[in-house]
Amino acid sequence: MALALLSIPIASPAGKPIRSLPRPSASRSAGPESLAHATRRQRTRLAEAHPPKRVHSRITNRKKRVESARAEHNPPREVRVRQRRADKRSHTPDRQSSRKALAANKQTARRNRRGSTTTAARIPARRLRPEENDEDASTNSPRQAFSSISPLKSIEQEASTPVLLPSLRLDSLYDSRGRLNVPAPLYGSHEILVHQNEMADREGLDRIRDNSDLEDLLRQKKLVALPAGGTLQVDDRLPADRRYSRPWTAAFLSVLARDYYANFHQPIYVTSAVRTVQVQQRLVRTNGNAAPVSGDNASPHLTGQAVDIAKKGLSMAQIAWLRTYLQSLIGDGKIDVEEEFRQACFHVSVYRSYLPAAPKLSIASTREQPDGTRP
């Protein structure tokens, strides 16, 4: 009876059929595409057996960069100790000099304790020079101050000597946010041209008619050569007989070129200087922007006081620096500037007041006192 009962199949409860999961075939367990239906252990085995073809090494590379940076900033202990010893040897003074200094300090301390005079007290007082004496310096200060700006032996030396102009640094043209402050252009006008001719007449400058007048002014040293060199260069197209100017104009160019080179490490270029009436007449026929040869608006180049500084190829920082530099001298009445855009240059007329004037000595200052001194 029992055997008969065991042979009868047991029906599933609630009449539900029994689901039987098929065994995974060899093809499904062979590749990584069966991971969705596999257990965790099977997934691990399949991942080890079939690694991904492309491994993203972003994290690995980042770890390597971090480790290299740490190794660079934190070298091994042996390297740090070796570097510390080398620094200590480089900063350690010589033993012999240290011993000498220590012995000298001890000897000085003994002398002070004994109450004897020190070495400094036994040294005789040095005789002061007149310029080192306070009284002489106070009395001679105006004379010494003028000696630095007094006329030199030759006009060439005077033209090459820096005077008056303070240096202008490029970083002063930028604000706190690093933006460049560009001044407005120095436009020319009819009034400025008339003022240049008025200043020339007031200073007694004649218009140079031809080459003979030019040679006479050169012999009298009323015209000097442009201070060409490493900081100032003259345009190759300018003829050799027109590379001259007034002494104060040459001094202005020398100082301007020096300050410009100190900021930009580039020379300035002069494209035009002195002209004769003959040259200006030819220029009027070919250039409609050229000034006439006579009248209130005649060209200042005829007197030798004006020069043209090239503006072509300059950056905005260089143009801003030149405008700021020239504007300060315009306010002092030492120059007049007309910024030309068709010819791309700065037309600058320099006046005699750019150079310091000679002092005027009064009768009282030259009168001697009974003891042979002057007031």
Residue 263 has pLDDT above 70, yes or no: yes
Q: Worst-scoring range by mean pLDDT, 12-16, 216-220, 247-251, 285-289?
A: 12-16
Mean pLDDT of 68-88: 72
Residue 174 has pLDDT above 70, yes or no: yes
pLDDT at 267: 95
pLDDT at 112: 63
pLDDT at 292: 83
Please enumerate in sequence order all residues whose Cβ is within 8 A of that of 14, keeping only pairs 6 or more positions apart, or say none: none
Residue 331 has pLDDT above 80, yes or no: yes
pLDDT at 195: 94
φ, ψ for residue 345, nearest 5 deg: -155, 165
| pLDDT-based confidence at residue 121 (cuts at 50, 70, 90) | very low
| pLDDT-based confidence at residue 197 (cuts at 50, 70, 90) | very high
Q: Worst-scoring range by mean pLDDT, 19-28, 302-311, 353-362?
A: 19-28
pLDDT at 182: 92
- Does the pTM surpass 0.75? The reply is no
Mean pLDDT of 146-175: 56
Q: Rounded distance, CA 112 to CA 135, Å? A: 34
Closest among 205, 233, 236, 235 to 301, alpha carbons compared: 205
Q: Which domains does the chain have, with CATH numbers?
A: 167-354 (3.30.1380.10)
The answer to whether residues 18 and 12 touch, using CB atoms and an 8 Å cutoff, is yes
Q: Worst-scoring range by mean pLDDT, 67-81, 186-200, 227-241, 340-354?
A: 67-81
| pLDDT-based confidence at residue 82 (cuts at 50, 70, 90) | confident
pLDDT at 115: 55
Number of other residues whose CB lies within 10 A of the CB of residue 195: 16
Tens digit of each residue's pLDDT (9 = 90 or more) over 1-57? 555 555 555 555 555 555 555 555 554 545 545 555 667 777 777 777 766 655 556
